[in-house]
Amino acid sequence: MGSAEHGLQVGDTGMASIGALAFGPDDVLFAADSRRARVVALDVADTATTAAAGPVDLTDLDGALAAYLGCDVADVALRDLAVHPRTGSVYLSVMRGSGTAGRPVLVRVDRADGSLSDVPLDSVAHAAADLTDAPAEDDPRQDTWLGEGEAREYNGRVLRITRVPARLSAITDLAYVDGAVLVAGMSDEEFASTLRRIPFPFDGRQAASGLEIFHVSHGMWETASPIRTFVPYEGGASILASYTCTPLVHFPMADLAAGGRATGRTVAELGWGNQPLDMVAVSQDGAEHLLVSHTAYPLMKIACADIDRQEPLTEPKEPTGVPRTLEDVVGVSLMALLDDEHVLVVQADDAGVRSLRSLKTASL
Amino acid sequence: MEVGWEERRGDVVLVVRGLPAGAAARVYPADVLGDDRTAPRQPMAGRWEAAGTGAVFAPRFPFLPGTEYAVLAGDGEPAVLRRPPAPGPRQATVVAVEPALDVVPRNLLRFSVRFSHPMSEGWALRAVRLERVADGAVVPGAFLDADPELWDADRRRLTLLLDPARLKRGLAPHREAGYPLVEGDEVRLVVDEDFRDAGGRGLLGPAAATFRVGPDLRGRVRPDAWTVSAPPAGTRAPLRIRFDRPLDRSLADRCLRVADRPGAGTTAPDGRGWSFVPDRPWTPGPVPIAVDPALEDVAGNSVARVFDRDLTVASDDPLDPADAVVLTAPVAAGDSYAARHER
């Protein structure tokens, strides 16, 4: 991979945490560092030359990670997984330990033999984009807070105001679409609804990427709420997002690319006591479907064509919205597309032991 | 076979002596090995170096305090040894639970817990609960299961959102389960002493704060309804603002700015007011105070928009995002402290 052409340089990433993962162009892996409010682009330097095929299964994933990392199972926090587009190896973002002892680890599961290794985050070709664009306590920009931005007249005075952007304390999801990393996040202060769009290679542009997302529920109530997880589909033309308040909302990518405010179409509502955890787009018989994993429901399948056909939910009596089927698959949390025939999932059994499993797409 | 700890160049390594001839040693966390002697699993990552009749293991990831490790070599029993636990007594306490109000609105959006020391993540839903005072019952599903948890930059303030889906009218979870809080109830937020600080130690003791649940708090935050007390020129007396309602303390700290005058702004602990002390004495003339429209009350309504907008109610319409909100405090000449109120 041409690390240099993407502006990646070898060195210590300085990552303090690792969460959401997504592969981008030329095998670049994007990783979220919530604690430092940044997205890091990594060259994982996967040396496998040919793509391995077939399912991946790793029983007692947490136990395997704990053994490799040299800690108790309670000290392993699996955050996300991604599949290398060329080699098929599986990458897992893991926090080992907590507090000051907590450190981020990027674990690689070799597709060919299932062995574990890790990407040295202290010495790897990388580039970073900071998302903390709010001034810190001692930031001199505070003094010019009233002196920049659009001129407005107020109480007879003309003032130039720049809004202080929401401070981001948690990155909930990210994806690479069409030359940019989309980043969903939450602030520990503002109940913000911003989806950031950061062009890659990183060039410092990000201020213009803030995007306020709204959706209308039952034609009566408008909600601005942070996005929890999202998935691009239709080749990146559409996005289906789930919010902290559970509905599934469709956005056309064109609206998002324009920046500013976007209003989505609520296509499905889910009941109380359940949260969508992850979403993945799969192809079945030439038609695109979305799989949605949940905290309480079994794996759910939605046809993308149905999403396009779904009218915005307008009646409070409507229970569901877009048609969906509940698969006979329970305990699934994280998901990624493994290959044309398999979806890779983290699945818990009745005893709560989590394993990496490959589900045949055709069987879902 | 004997095993022990040694320190090499500041790193803890595991030393094995009397290794059975020809046997390769492997290290596992004892917790993971369990009773399984066959250990088909990949062992702990690290580097072995031969040393006499033994070997030295330098782990890829440092050994963790208080954790037990097992060394396997040949067919023999594993040798088990434990790292010493993290030193030091418990020291962290809960400094405040916010909002610091006796009465909170039924549609309260969030609680914040401020700690005296940086804390560990992963304890928010395990060690914090909301319970009814009347019978001690835990309010089920009150908090949003936020993953990752919402912490400030130095890990001292934890934000707990009450499930927004239960607060927003019109959404299925609200229709099914209603508000997490019931008007007229008394509720208690409890922080267990198990909540770990960044060093892995618990709290000095548990903490609790009690609230009565009052009526909903609706509508946009209205800076034009705030009371601004202007200080006299020539003094460093504080400029004071009294809000129209209790606001989010952290956001108020960030969202209020006095133009062109260096100084320090402080939000009252109960979120009902704000004061600003200039570095240099006031000079006569109007002092503009900029209000970031992102500023929210304790129910998540901001200056710019309501948390839960009813599209049929005109007063719920949002402000133009570019609208500047600026208050003016007229600093009067003269040495008498006659606070002026301006709406």
A277 vs B10: CA distance, rounded Å: 41
Looking at A285-294, B58-67, B332-341, which range is the least confident one? B332-341
Q: Among the three residues B29, B57, B82, which one is the final residue of a domain in this structure? A: B82
> How far is the CA of A275 from the CAs of B3, B140, B145, B274, in angstroms?
48, 15, 9, 38
Task: Using the predicted structure, report yes or no on whether residue A152 has a pLDDT greater than 60.
Answer: no
User: Looking at the structure, do residues A211 and A324 belong to the same domain, yes or no?
Assistant: yes
Please, which pLDDT band fits residue B323 given cuts at 50, 70 and 90? low
Please, which pLDDT band fits residue A144 given cuts at 50, 70 and 90? very low
User: Looking at the structure, do residues A125 and A186 belong to the same domain, yes or no?
Assistant: no
Q: What separation, in Å, do the N-terminal and C-terminal C-alpha atoms of chain B show?
A: 82
- What average pLDDT does the structure give for chain A? 83
The secondary structure element, H or E, covering residue A40 is strand A38-43
Cβ of A333 under 8 Å from any chain B Cβ? no
* Residue-level pLDDT at B321: 57
Contact criterion met (CB below 8 Å) for A304 and A233: yes
Looking at A74-83, A222-231, B240-249, B299-308, which range is the least confident one? A222-231
Please, which pLDDT band fits residue A131 given cuts at 50, 70 and 90? confident
Q: Among the three residues B214, B246, B276, which one is the final residue of a domain in this structure? A: B214
A97 vs A69: CA distance, rounded Å: 10
Residue A354 lies in a domain: no
Q: What value does the mean pLDDT take over residues B13-17?
A: 95
Q: What value does the mean pLDDT take over residues A96-112?
A: 90
* Residue-level pLDDT at A330: 93
User: Looking at the structure, do residues B140 and B174 belong to the same domain, yes or no?
Assistant: yes
Pick from B27, B31, B32 the residue to mutate for testing the A interface (most A CBs within 10 Å). Answer: B32
Instruction: Choose the closest CB to B326 out of A101, A105, A155.
Output: A155
pLDDT tens sequence across A165-187: 556 778 999 999 989 999 998 88
Please, which pLDDT band fits residue B264 given cuts at 50, 70 and 90? very high
Question: Higher confidence at residue A324 or residue A123?
Answer: A123
Please state, for a pLDDT cut of 90, what percent of chain A lies above it: 48
pLDDT tens sequence across A194-221: 788 888 999 876 644 567 777 777 677 7
Residue A342 lies in a domain: no
Residue A40 lies in a domain: yes
Question: CB–CB of A261 and B311 under 8 A?
Answer: no
User: Looking at the structure, do residues A122 and A172 belong to the same domain, yes or no?
Assistant: no
User: Looking at the structure, do residues A113 and A192 belong to the same domain, yes or no?
Assistant: no
Neighbour tally for A233: CB within 10 Å: 20
* Residue-level pLDDT at A186: 86
Nearest to B216 by CA among B135, B130, B303, B297: B297
Total of domains in chain B: 3
Task: Using the predicted structure, report yes or no on whether residue A313 has a pLDDT greater than 90.
Answer: no
Total of domains in chain A: 2
Please, which pLDDT band fits residue A143 given cuts at 50, 70 and 90? very low
Task: Using the predicted structure, report yes or no on whether residue B30 has a pLDDT greater than 60.
Answer: yes
* Residue-level pLDDT at B35: 65
**CATH value at residue A302:** 2.130.10.10
Question: CB–CB of A190 and B251 under 8 A?
Answer: yes
Degrees, nearest 5: CA angle B202-B205-B207: 110
Residue A6 lies in a domain: no
Looking at A243-257, B193-207, B211-225, B264-278, which range is the least confident one? A243-257
Domain that holds residue A59: 13-130
A93 vs A79: CA distance, rounded Å: 5
Cβ of A150 under 8 Å from any chain B Cβ? yes
Task: Using the predicted structure, report yes or no on whether residue A148 has a pLDDT greater than 50.
Answer: no
Among A residues 9-68, those touching chain B with beta carbons less than 8 Å apart: 17, 19, 34, 63-64, 66-68
Q: Which residues pair with A108 in a beta bridge?
A: A91, A117
User: Looking at the structure, do residues A125 and A173 belong to the same domain, yes or no?
Assistant: no
SS3 at position A50: coil
Please state, for a pLDDT cut of 70, what percent of chain B lies above it: 94
Cβ of B279 under 8 Å from any chain A Cβ? no
**CATH value at residue B21:** 2.60.40
User: Looking at the structure, do residues B160 and B230 belong to the same domain, yes or no?
Assistant: no
Residue A349 lies in a domain: no
Q: Among the three residues B214, B246, B269, which one is the final residue of a domain in this structure? A: B214
Residue B88 lies in a domain: no
User: Looking at the structure, do residues B67 and B119 belong to the same domain, yes or no?
Assistant: no
SS3 at position A209: helix
User: Looking at the structure, do residues A72 and A193 belong to the same domain, yes or no?
Assistant: no
Contact criterion met (CB below 8 Å) for A170 and B124: no
Q: What value does the mean pLDDT take over residues B180-187?
A: 97
Residue A148 lies in a domain: no
Residue B145 lies in a domain: yes
* Residue-level pLDDT at A139: 38
Looking at chain B, how many residues does it have?
A: 343
Residue A338 lies in a domain: no
User: Looking at the structure, do residues A322 and A232 belong to the same domain, yes or no?
Assistant: yes
Cβ of A169 under 8 Å from any chain B Cβ? yes
Residue B33 lies in a domain: yes
Contact criterion met (CB below 8 Å) for B326 and A159: yes
Whole-number CA gyration radius for chain B? 29
Pick from B26, B125, B168 the residue to mutate for testing the A interface (most A CBs within 10 Å). Answer: B168
Domain that holds residue B30: 2-82
Task: Using the predicted structure, report yes or no on whether residue A54 has a pLDDT greater than 90.
Answer: no
* Residue-level pLDDT at B281: 95
User: Looking at the structure, do residues A104 and A232 belong to the same domain, yes or no?
Assistant: no
- The strand pair at B79-82 and B273-278 is best described as unpaired
Q: What value does the mean pLDDT take over residues B216-233?
A: 92
Residue A361 lies in a domain: no
Looking at A348-362, B213-227, B329-343, which range is the least confident one? B329-343
* Residue-level pLDDT at B37: 56
Query: Which range has the top average pLDDT, A122-136, A218-232, B325-339?
Result: A218-232
Question: Higher confidence at residue A146 or residue A284?
Answer: A284
Residue B298 lies in a domain: yes
Residue B319 lies in a domain: yes
Q: What value does the mean pLDDT take over residues A43-62?
A: 86
User: Looking at the structure, do residues A178 and A319 belong to the same domain, yes or no?
Assistant: yes
* Residue-level pLDDT at A158: 43
* Residue-level pLDDT at A236: 87
Residue B87 lies in a domain: no
Query: Which range has the top average pLDDT, B55-64, B81-90, B147-156?
Result: B55-64
Mapped to the 3 state alphabet, what secondary structure does A219-278 carry?
Answer: CCEEEECCEEEEEEEHHHCEEEEEECCCCEEEEEHHHHHCCEEEEEEEEECCCCCCCEEE
Instruction: Choose the closest CB to A189 out of B121, B171, B254.
Output: B254
Looking at A45-54, A131-140, A247-256, B91-100, which range is the least confident one? A131-140
Q: Is the dihedral of CA A300, A305, A307, A309 positive or negative?
A: negative
Task: Using the predicted structure, report yes or no on whether residue B341 has a pLDDT greater than 90.
Answer: no
* Residue-level pLDDT at B274: 97
ipTM higher than 0.85? yes
A311 vs B45: CA distance, rounded Å: 53
A196 vs A306: CA distance, rounded Å: 27
Cβ of B287 under 8 Å from any chain A Cβ? no
Task: Using the predicted structure, report yes or no on whether residue A154 has a pLDDT greater than 50.
Answer: no
Supply B321's token pair: 């995002």
B165 vs A218: CA distance, rounded Å: 14
Looking at A91-100, A151-160, A169-178, B35-44, which range is the least confident one? A151-160
Residue B89 lies in a domain: no
User: Looking at the structure, do residues A210 and A318 belong to the same domain, yes or no?
Assistant: yes
User: Looking at the structure, do residues B235 and B178 belong to the same domain, yes or no?
Assistant: no
User: Looking at the structure, do residues A320 and A273 belong to the same domain, yes or no?
Assistant: yes
User: Looking at the structure, do residues A76 and A173 belong to the same domain, yes or no?
Assistant: no
pLDDT tens sequence across B114-149: 999 999 988 998 999 999 999 999 998 899 887 789
Cα dihedral: A13, A18, A24, A28 (round 10): 30
Cβ of B175 under 8 Å from any chain A Cβ? yes
Residue B115 lies in a domain: yes
Please, which pLDDT band fits residue A315 given cuts at 50, 70 and 90? low
> If you ran DSSP here, which 8-state letter would residue B153 be given?
T
Task: Using the predicted structure, report yes or no on whether residue B316 has a pLDDT greater than 90.
Answer: no
